[in-house]
Chain A
């Protein structure tokens, strides 16, 4: 049965051909398996742990959903969820607003645009740890902005958000917006550049005003950019751990806890692995609620 050397009317696949067929699958599989196992496999593991009474050491006897029940009676968890809600909404909303506005301004072909764009992107290239540390100083009532304004003669100026447990979460919003707004500007700018000039010219010929062109033609055509920006900002917001750790450390008290820092505190400083895992699973559920529709729409999109 030597198919490679015998001459037949229909040529059989040679060993090399078979190899060529398998090669792509072979080289893709490490990445695919790594990504899938590393993330989804471990998520299943976390889910398992969340059903156990694991404390400092993992236990694998399933005890049911009691950890989840405990979660919803935990005041700190509810604070963390509320904070994520406040932070996420404001952070995304302000970034989108500023991003679109500045991008439209920059789209008027101003001078030295390239240099500006790089400066806008810089904050995003920095680690959130650096951002958090820098803003911690700027917002510190005794050292930064407040002191500066007071020295300028406004003796009664107070800006103590960082140490005010009701307002501290808004300082996280400020630092987060500072870090990401420039990036959103760059995103929208490249989206604006992709808008077909001929449509705009046609509208101008028809006598449409510039604001009207933006409102009815350009902004609607930015829909895909809006969508991907929303996704990116959403997942930055949910993942925000380093920024909060560096800026407020979750404090004062636990006033600026978010689910990620909550999970960290309970799992590693309080050694409640099962409880921490449960909180991680709830977070995951939230992310999946965003990601699944996105993946679904992407998969259905014909190419």
Chain B
């Protein structure tokens, strides 16, 4: 290389250095220590100026719109709740009041709340929201309002009465946030709009403590600023506390490697979810790392139950014996190790083992589970193994060297109660009892054809689910079934599952989701009623993709419908326990474990994140409930 070439090369380098500069600015005009940076798991918002959640077409609900801006009447926290109560009145002053036959619901609203543009929040807003939705069934909660609301009227500025089409003691749940709910729209904005569906609702006006300051026209980030009049916001009025962060930045980061690197560099304060290895890497390498459990199993268990879902209209999944045989051919310890690196929270029953679920259901049902018996011919077998948590802990300690607690009760809190025994011998007997045959180590269907199973699971979006499906397929192959997995994109999986037309297919997904902070199972169970049954080829209504029909379940749902959501806790739990027993006997789907989310927080700039030691709310940032986290988050003072 000649001297001239060298000179030219140096010049190019200098030019590049001149363009790039040496220091990296994160937020111009906003000090890093004033802003908390949170991952928006939806990634990029294709239409970043659309905030009209009622009108639909909003790419991401995790940009801060439902976390910081819009408010709902009530919230049920999936964990302990900000003040130790999972039921939270936010825009409402109190819980809803129903008349005797549940045909009327009265709502008392909080006084003193103002929209972020200075207009008072009143009963007019709630009435307008419901009437607008009722007139537009194509809007997000519109069809529900049309089906359920006969009339809504304002009694005074802070009292609204709903007259319902038919008795419904669960009507308030449409306004109650689990992950989301029907938010109240600002009447003074929407009443000026000709088409409430087409309206983008930009800039968004909310009752929450933050206002949108800036956004990326390309949809990768949204910056929110604390309202100057935060004490007049819903959080300010309800709790009287100032949220810690002055600014909140929601940022889409698609690559898991990048999330890890960003947090190591203290450029991303809350990661929504990571594959287990990513979370463990951060936990081991970032001294400021905060996770739900401070060590194994790290992750936050969401009140959602990933399961093996079989369409009962497809032979042989209609056979209870076969469903039980498949259950007993699964070694859950191996599945937990291979999918979640030993960090799953298992469930033998059809309720997620999270929030207060263990107290309400698991403690009460476990004695029954221990005595539960399966009969094959004259032989009886007790399939429940209460020692699985210890087996998982031992395996994790051996395989990964993680530090695990010695106390069994402590282990149960971390990875759940027992599960079903790995009993291929009994599985074999069950299958033979309904005509299956085994030849040369391979199972044949009663008609003599080879038994094939394809487990349809999510691919890149949820790698733990792919791994879990692969682990189960491997065990079933070992058992003699020709089992494979088919990993597809999430929307394809859910679509195919809802039509249920795939032959020889079992879906790895979920159809059981609970409140976490309330024992009522009606929320997901309602659609299991035979009134809503849809045959294969028609899309299922809500959450019965297995097309399960049971008179017992119908009666439980009908009884649940009549219980008092607020005073009937014991009755609801008893009915829930009946539901659990029916499901254990029928095994309509095979429950596996809760949806554990590896939400990883960085304590470098911020402190006060919710953890298992202080479970005041769910840290998973796309949930509407995370709004309460901002009350406890405080700056560490680091610059």
Q: Do A and B bind each other?
A: no
Q: Which residues of B are interface residues toward A (Cβ below 8 A)?
A: none
